[in-house]
């Protein structure tokens, strides 16, 4: 794949969970089955957007968004050019729609697909209306100092383009920014807010776009009307997310789209076409069963042989040590004992070099033998090979080689 589209939080999470699912969603664009909880969340988000947007637009520090979701002005513009004085009637409170208007908006934006039954849909609709009533009362009593709503933001971090739509940005009493994301899920904890990658990504986006500091990150649990407010992420935490974003982009660029089965398979729409779950056709079943049984038998025999060979090799090493002899003659073969050296590379030492040189895709699980092969590869720049070499060490161990029946082998062959 050439260029990688800007990575959103949803795309990042989808790829991290399962690269194949990401491909089916974002490249093949296969539709997902509508689900009631997604529809419920979309409906609440849309109603809140219409409630809060007029307040944000009237704020002296507001961002103005043009159709298409592009940022027209930034906070920096407001800092450089002081805003016109607000008319006496302006202010957050003056712009708030009343409850009836809010419920009218809610009815208009309600998404009714994906519910289990008309009763299920009605139950959810009534729940949303009740939550909006309570939220409206809180909102009216103490309007937030919102400065942006449903804000589309883009940024580039270490060559990775990221994109996000931030539910709400408030100005804090100290003049910094608070990033909020509404959640309509049933359960939500402080730990979720503390570890949310989504909030970390939004902090990155906001910091890249505005000159003001992010002072708080909040998941707003709408079912309990509770703001789960946390400190902004540390430099290390932001760096950790950047590294994982980079790994995802590397995987996408390298066309790595293997299925990664896990707990999310239960709610995946693509099980019928996923190689991990697709059923063997009936006509092929017998043949496949025979092959599987034969393979399992051979694996068991192979494991038994491997253990036996290790035991015999260990006896040969002991005899060789005891007699001080390295050439051990048999009846039809000869075993030689040789000291062989091989490279050992500590993963944490070579990881940054491989990352910087874009060589990670060639080294699965940071295997030392694979890193050693890079040292022989003339296409790898000399300074990279030198740097890798300086981080590894050579270790020696005894190996057995044998000659017999016209073939020379080592004990490592097996």
SS3 at position 355: helix
Q: What is the DSSP letter of 186?
A: S
Smallest distance from ligand SF4 to CB 388, Å? 34
Query: Measured from the CB atom, is 248 or 353 closer to ligand SF4?
Result: 248
Q: What is the dihedral of CA 219, 221, 222, 226, to 10 degrees?
A: -100
Q: Which is nearer to ligand SF4, 14 or 62 (CB)?
A: 14
| Contact between residue 327 and residue 401 where contact means Cβ atoms under 8 Å apart | no
Name the one range near ligand SF4 by CB under 6 A: 46-54, 73-81, 269-277, 335-343.
Answer: 269-277
List 62, 219, 268, 388, residue binding ligand SF4 (CB under 6 A): 268
Q: Which helix (H) or strand (E) holds 147?
A: strand 146-157
Q: Confirm or reject binding of residue 18 to ligand SF4 (CB under 6 A).
A: yes
User: Quick one: 264 or 295, whose CB is closer to ligand SF4?
Assistant: 264
Stretch that binds ligand SF4, among 38-46, 186-194, 257-265, 317-325 (CB under 6 A): 257-265
d(CA 14, CA 7): 11
Taking CB under 6 A as the rule, does residue 366 contact ligand SF4? no
Q: Which of 128, 251 has the CB closer to ligand SF4?
A: 251
CA contacts within 13 A on the Cβ side of 291: 5
Contact call for residues 41 and 219 (beta carbons, < 8 A) = no
Site for ligand SF4 in 275-314 (CB under 6 A): 276-277
Both tokens of 53, joined, read 């947007």
- DSSP letter for 412, please: G
Q: Is 221 in the site for ligand SF4 (CB under 6 A)?
A: no
22 binds ligand SF4 (CB under 6 A): no
Using CB under 6 A, pick the residue from 264, 306, 386, 394 that binds ligand SF4.
264
Number of residues that bind ligand SF4 (CB under 6 A): 14
25 binds ligand SF4 (CB under 6 A): no
Q: Which stretch binds ligand SF4 (CB under 6 A): 171-179, 232-240, 256-264, 404-412?
A: 256-264
Give SS3 for 317. helix
32 binds ligand SF4 (CB under 6 A): no
Residue 4, helix vs strand vs coil: coil
Using the rule CB under 6 A, which residue among 274, 366, 380, 399 binds ligand SF4? Answer: 274
Asked if 219 touches ligand SF4 (CB under 6 A), the answer is: no
3-class state of residue 192 by DSSP = helix
- In 59-181, which ranges are continuous DSSP H helix? 75-80, 99-109, 118-141
Residue 57 sits in the site that holds ligand SF4 (CB under 6 A): no
Residues 6+ apart with CB under 8 A from 206: 153, 166, 169, 177, 179, 214
Residue ranges binding ligand SF4 (CB under 6 A): 18, 20-21, 259-261, 264-265, 268, 270-271, 274, 276-277
């Amino acid at each position: 794949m050439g260029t990688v589209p800007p990575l959103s939080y949803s795309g990042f999470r989808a790829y991290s969970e399962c690269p194949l699912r990401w491909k089916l969603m974002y490249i093949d664009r296969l539709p997902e089955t509508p689900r009631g909880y997604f529809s419920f969340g979309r409906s609440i988000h849309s109603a809140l957007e219409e409630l809060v947007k007029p307040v944000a637009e009237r704020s002296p520090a507001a961002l103005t968004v043009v159709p298409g979701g592009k940022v027209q002005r930034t906070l920096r513009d407001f800092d450089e050019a002081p805003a016109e004085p607000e008319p006496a009637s302006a202010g957050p409170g003056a712009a708030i729609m009343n409850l009836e208007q809010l419920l009218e908006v809610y009815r208009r934006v309600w998404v009714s697909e994906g519910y289990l039954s008309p009763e299920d849909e009605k139950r959810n609709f009534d729940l949303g209306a009740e939550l909006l009533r309570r939220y409206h009362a809180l909102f009216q009593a103490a309007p937030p100092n919102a400065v942006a709503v449903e804000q589309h933001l883009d940024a580039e971090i270490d060559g990775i383009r990221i994109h996000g739509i931030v539910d709400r940005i408030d100005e804090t009493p100290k003049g910094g920014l608070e990033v909020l994301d509404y959640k309509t899920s049933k359960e939500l904890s402080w730990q979720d807010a503390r570890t949310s990658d989504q909030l970390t990504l939004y902090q990155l986006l906001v910091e890249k776009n505005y000159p003001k500091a992010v002072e708080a990150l909040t998941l707003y649990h709408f079912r309990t009307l509770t703001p789960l407010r946390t400190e902004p992420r540390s430099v290390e935490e932001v760096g950790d997310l950047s590294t994982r974003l980079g790994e995802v982009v590397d995987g996408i660029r390298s066309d790595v789209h293997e299925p990664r089965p896990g707990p999310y398979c239960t709610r995946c729409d693509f099980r019928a076409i996923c190689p991990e779950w697709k059923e063997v056709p009936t006509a092929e079943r017998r043949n496949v069963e025979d092959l599987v049984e034969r393979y399992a038998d051979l694996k068991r025999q192979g494991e038994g042989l491997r253990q036996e060979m290790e035991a015999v090799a260990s006896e040969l090493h002991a005899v060789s040590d005891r007699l001080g002899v390295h050439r051990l003659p048999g009846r039809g073969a000869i075993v030689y004992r040789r000291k062989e050296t091989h490279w050992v590379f500590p993963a944490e030492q070579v990881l940054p070099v491989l990352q910087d040189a874009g060589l990670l895709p060639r080294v699965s699980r940071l295997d030392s033998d694979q890193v050693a092969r890079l040292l022989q590869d003339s296409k790898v720049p000399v300074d990279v090979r030198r740097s890798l070499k300086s981080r590894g060490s050579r270790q020696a161990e005894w190996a057995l080689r044998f000659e017999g029946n016209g073939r020379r082998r080592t004990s490592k062959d097996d």
